Amino acid sequence: MKVLIVKTSSMGDVLHTLPALTDAMCAVKDIRFDWVVEENFSQIPGWHPAVERVLPVAIRRWRKNWFGSQAREERVTFKRELQLQSYDRIIDAQGLIKSAALVTRLAKGEKHGLDSNSARESFASWWYDKRHEISKKQHAVERMRELFAKSLDYEKPETVGDYAIAGHFLSNLPTDANRYLMFLHATTRDNKHWPESHWRELIALMANSGLSIKLPWGSPHEYQRALRLAEGFDYTEVLPKMPLEQVALNLAGAKAVVSVDTGLSHLTAALDRLNITLYGPTDPGLIGGYGKNQYIIRSPHGNNMNSITAKSVAEKLMQVME
């Protein structure tokens, strides 16, 4: 069976879809997937053993200059690549008008997706041949697993979902694997940030742990923050800018990770690495870290991330590493 997945973004959403592929791979003989995904996340689907072809799309970038010549040419090329293959099933796992109207409707095959009550944008369901009711009162991973099970006609397993990507990295771990911590300090929303003073206190508390600390970053302001966090701590390294696969390799080799609510935290979960995620304004019950070795510290004062103390995080970290 040949299936097309339409799940374009964000990083966390793309990663949350992977366990559904693993379920399907076990339930349906010889199933293979193609995947339409935003260009920034195009490395992720190829890490899963059931994915055959990745079709990058640039909807986010095209929208900035929709009628420009480059955007038009890229859309024509994408449509041609998309329609080279006819599919037994097409699963729109995004549930948005942009994915349904700009991608799913153009693909060749029976189109499945969330019904109007289940999709984030109800009108997206107009473009599907088969619509499935999926409860919103469950974790995003379980929603995707249920959608795939109903779309591909098998019973959703009761076991915990398996991302099935950790093995992709095991043969190429860093030489210092299991001798360092990764601290994921960067996130997109200001109210998800943990104060720099708290990060520096946590780094200081790790001085006698025998472990070094690595700080990744993705943008210039995140780089400057990483430099400030590392200043004065000779066991703390600010990593160079690197592609997502290299970040994943470093995460896969970490003894443990401490993170705020960010896409890389979900990547850590997908790699089955020990991870403590700090939450303030978001509900981890629906979109939090899913899988093995995932721990949560929630702010005792709602949205106020300042109320999570470095001491409490250090104590939890040492406890779970033991």
The mean-pLDDT minimum among 142-146, 157-161, 265-269, 301-305 falls in 301-305
**pLDDT value for 282:** 84
% of the chain beyond a pLDDT of 90: 94
In this prediction, residue 166 carries a pLDDT of: 96
Average pLDDT, the chain: 96
What are the two backbone dihedrals, phi and then psi, of residue 318, each rounded to the nearest 5 degrees? -65, -35
pLDDT score, position 108: 98
pLDDT at residue 244, rounded to an integer: 96
- At residue 311, the pLDDT reads 98
pLDDT score, position 76? 97
Span 278-308, pLDDT tens digits: 999 888 888 899 999 999 999 988 788 999 9
pLDDT at 283: 82
The whole-number average pLDDT for the span 163-172 is 95
For the stretch 52-99, pLDDT in tens is: 999 999 999 999 999 999 999 999 999 999 999 999 999 999 999 999
Average pLDDT of span 229-245: 97
The secondary structure element, H or E, covering residue 279 is: strand 275-279
Q: What is the pLDDT of residue 285?
A: 87
In this prediction, residue 302 carries a pLDDT of 76
Q: What percentage of the chain reaches a pLDDT higher than 70?
A: 100
Q: Is the pLDDT of residue 319 over 90?
A: yes
Provide mean pLDDT across the span 122-143.
96
Residue 186's pLDDT band (boundaries 50, 70, 90)? very high
Q: What is the pLDDT of residues 18-61, one digit of tens each?
A: 999 999 999 999 999 999 999 999 999 999 999 999 999 999 99
Structural domains present in the chain: 2-163 (3.40.50.2000), 167-321 (3.40.50.2000)
- CA-based angle 106:107:108, to the nearest 5? 120
